[in-house]
Chains A and B, each alone.
Chain A
Amino acid sequence: MNILAKLRGASPNSESDSGARGASHVIFGQIIQFACNENGLDTAHQLRDLRTIYEPFLASRAIPKAGVCLDLGAGAGWFGLPFAMAFKDWTVICVEADPVQYDFLKINVERLQLENVVCINAAFHPEVMAEEGDDASAFLRGEVRGRPANFQHLRALSMKLAPVITDSVPVEDVVSCSALSPDLIADLSPDLIRLDAPGCEAAIAQALKHKSAGLVVGRTYPYLPSHSFAPSEWGGARQFYLVHGDHILRRDYEDDFPTRKSRLDVVVAMFNARDFIRECVDSILADGNPDIRVLVVDDGSTDGSGKMVDSLYGDNPRVRLLSKTNGGCASARNFGRRHSDASHIAFIDADDRLDPGMFSALLETARYTGTFVAEGEFKTFTTGPDGVDIFSPSHEAEVYKNAGHHRLADFDFDWIPGAQIIIGQPTIWRRVYRRDFLDRKKIWFPEHVRAFDDQIFQLYVGHYAGSIAHVREQFYHYRQHPAQDIKQGDERHFYSFNMFRSVFLRALDEGWQDISLIIQSLLNTMSWSYGGLRDDLKQIYVEAAVEFLAILDRTFGGIEPDLLRTVGIPGLDYLVQRQIREMGNAPVNYAMMRLESWRWQPEFIRMMLNIK
């Protein structure tokens, strides 16, 4: 709620009697009648928050039988009083700075005859220190135990202005009231905190860092880094649900499981990357976010890069080095993932790097939106012989010209349909994924696939993710090498058939409604692979494609010949039609996709070429 509205709220005496009488509402399963300034707007806001924040939150948790609830920014008691009514064995401490609201609060407490409520007319202010010898905390504790409250004592506390969150508030509208040090909150050891205290969030969060406050719910107004409300390791378990504009920062019971740490592990698959690994790791560490860690997986490097990582970062608690026998990029990424206990994960290449802060922005987006996938932007670069980097924008620069439609912290983002990345080039390294999403959808890098394993990964992610948060102006730097895998044109291109076969089998098993994008992705891949393939493999590739498309046709029913003509393999549409004819009167059936061909796996092709 806007602080101005709060401050300008009329006093009970100036309003008509009908306003003071209030209307009755059903809140937390009980009928309750409020006396409050029924200026309509405030009531509507309060009810909206009750219906959309507080009732759902309480309904979704196990609330202990007894405890201390601290209602910060209690207003007329819209949350605190129904809560006190519903949970008789709790003590509810309502803190409200605005004297007008506070008067309503008192009237309501008296009218509802609540004995388990303590009201305090004060605000918490980050600049107030709990002084040595100050008896304020002893007083507050006394308040909690001994009722009723003696409000006079509070007047003796130091006076400071409550913080003003916008400089557009005219001076005459700023009121002063009793100010308390946020440290006192910790002294009260609340079990549940309801938070609606504009401007004080950071100080309150800080005060709670090492304290157990199991439940926190409310609104935050300025942006706070997502880890602010997470308890430190000795702070105990905590669940929270904090609405911030359109976003919600949420942490649930299961986030406290030992197997689930709320953080991001960036898995760096490393094979002989001596020259680049330092730049890479440093760029991840650069913004100092303690919730982001690096997992370097040394996939059997022979150039000493493992030792180098160990000597550079051996004493850095944010970097972990894992070593394994060589098994390829897919195996290294999976290995890192299996050794991670983080809630979010990213997979990047050891020769790349990123804008400092990119992963922080992605993690913030992921946490505030709950998205399964958040991605940054990327640009490519080469390092010239003089050591100067030359950057080129990605093809997306054309697409994303305007600022994103959603804003969080100091960056903005857009929601893009996941389907969009099904047909795009694989760029799995610029994304942050929720582990539980990848696990539930069984999205892994296929380890037997020694090239392009990221394509199937991206395809599944795109298919299952729904919308993806595309964060603007946070760049991943994708290094270009003259001898990159994809440019060699060897038989590894045939892994695509193997991977797409798996995808189509999964589509059958799960009854996917629409596979047109998958087919489009297959055709794009064929077009791209065929173009870059070594000449001696082209004939086999055409045969493989014809066989695959014919079987695909007999599995799902008609593939448009027009589509086939776009691939760039001469006569592909004719060859596929002819193959289908040769299959005689084979009806369309799911089992056809179970067939396999020696042309669909590089291992088979090597066996075939070595047969004589």
Chain B
Amino acid sequence: MKFSCIMTTFNDGELIRQSVASVLCQTYNDFELLLVDDGSSTPTTDILASFNDPRIRILPQANDGLSSARNRGLCHARGDYICFLDADDTRAPWSFAQAAELIDAKHPDLILVPGILSSGRTRLEPFMDHVNVTAMKEEEATRTGQMTLKARKAWATSFEPQSANKFVARNLIERGKLRFPNDHFFEDILFHVLAIAHAESVEFLDAPSFTYFQRQLRPQLTASNGQIRFDILGTARVTFQIFEQHKDFRNVRQRGAVSIGTLRLLHWCEQELPAYHKYGFRLALRELLRGVNPHYLVIDKATPDPRRERKKLTRYAREVMA
């Protein structure tokens, strides 16, 4: 089997129908869809029970969090490549077909794909990291020959840490024992950084492969302003700890991309926290940054940084530590 698509749901209700249909209607057929029900109640469970397609497997669990649900999917996945889709997003009809073609040609460990962003406005736009794609292509144009794996990994790391934007070889996941951080949201950053670190070949696709919906009626979990934002502290700390032990830590551009990606999330979470939690967040963040390898906080000039965040985030980190 070529692909396992892992979709987790917690009370997504009617929204899930379109997401599931977008997978079932793929122009490429050799896949399974693992639907992990993270303790939904009716009507979501009724909707799940109504799906009747041999390619779907439903894995129920009592509510245990997004990471736990994704990990359950990983345990049961049988496809050679694994991808993820949130239960309110969609996969482009050609998504699997174009990935399969690339896989048959090059057997990469990891494929990164662009996506579409549906925000509150009418216009469908490229996903947030399109500036990275553009900048990467500009850099590629200035070189003669292929980009090195080192450069590819640096650029890949700079992409939005998001789970829908990659196809990961299952044997890479097994090699690295990759899992999402149980009990934590902002789960993607750890998986993103480590999947790229373990990859021995990385490819990029051009056509949009998924659409990420920002919905007004159903706030994104990560867009809520409650204590959930504290979770980034845990995920970020473990990401720094584990990546530091990988040989790619010495790839300064890739390390810089890890720093920028993680600090961006930390900074954003602090901004979005309720006022009365900001002080506590700072204290914990200070402890976090004091404990990490100091080289994370020296972000190399050559780091992929199309959004020009390097200086701002370095300043932020130093300020927190003061």
Contact = CB atoms under 8 A, between A and B. Distances in A.
Nearest to A604: B238
Interface of A: 324-325, 327, 331, 334-335, 337-338, 444-448, 498, 501-502, 509, 554, 583-584, 586-587, 589-592, 594-598, 601, 603-604, 606-612
B293 to A, nearest CB: 13
Given A338-B62, A498-B182, 11 more contacts: A325-B57, A327-B75, A335-B62, A447-B72, A509-B227, A584-B290, A592-B284, A594-B230, A596-B235, A606-B177, A612-B246
A325 B59 contact: yes
Given A446-B64, A447-B61, A592-B284, A583 B290 contact: yes
B184 to A, nearest CB: 7
Nearest to A584: B290
B283 A595 contact: no
B237 A597 contact: yes
B177 A598 contact: no
A606 B235 CA distance: 16
B274 interface: no
A610 B242 CA distance: 10
A603 B182 contact: yes
Interface string B48-73: 00000000010111111101100110
The residue among A446, A448, A589, A597 with the most chain B CB atoms within 10 A of its own CB is A448
B281 interface: yes
Nearest to A599: B241
B71 A335 contact: no
Interface in B12-62: 39, 57, 59-62
B230 A444 contact: no
Given A594-B284, A596-B234, A603-B71, A608 B179 contact: no
A612 B247 contact: yes
What are the 7 tightest A-B residue pairs by CB atom distance, in nearest-first order? A596-B234, A591-B280, A334-B62, A448-B68, A606-B177, A591-B284, A603-B179
Nearest to B246: A611
B200 interface: no
B21 to A, nearest CB: 24
Interface size class of B (residues with CB under 8 A): 35 or more
Nearest to B229: A594
Interface string B93-137: 000000000000000000000000000000000000000000000
A524 B126 CA distance: 54
A501 B230 CA distance: 14
B83 interface: no
Interface in B192-232: 194, 197, 227, 230-231
Contacts of A601: 181-182
B62 A444 contact: yes
B183 interface: yes
B233 interface: yes
B175 interface: yes
Contact of A597 (B39, B64, B238, B280): B238
A610 B195 CA distance: 12
Interface string B244-275: 01110000000000000000000000000000
B284 A447 contact: no
B177 A594 contact: no
A444 B241 CA distance: 30
A323 to B, nearest CB: 12
B178 interface: yes
A502 B181 CA distance: 13
A590 B233 CA distance: 13
B286 interface: yes
Nearest to A588: B283
A596 B238 CA distance: 7
Contact of A598 (B63, B242, B280, B288): B242
B287 A583 contact: yes
Nearest to A501: B183
Contacts of A554: 287
B281 A595 contact: no
B177 A610 contact: yes
A583 B242 CA distance: 20
Contacts of B245: 608, 611-612
Nearest to B235: A596
B284 A597 contact: no
B280 A590 contact: yes
B277 interface: yes
Contacts of B182: 448, 498, 601, 603
B295 interface: no
15 contacts: A335-B60, A335-B62, A338-B39, A444-B62, A448-B72, A502-B183, A554-B287, A591-B283, A592-B283, A594-B284, A597-B238, A601-B182, A604-B181, A604-B238, A610-B177
Contacts of B72: 327, 331, 447-448
B61 A331 contact: yes
Contacts of B57: 325
Given A447-B64, A447-B68, A611-B245, A586 B238 contact: no
Contacts of B62: 331, 334-335, 337-338, 444-445, 447
Interface string B154-190: 0000000000000000000001111101111000000
Nearest to A333: B62
Contacts of B235: 596
Contact of B242 (A444, A591, A611): A611
B281 A327 contact: no
B76 interface: yes
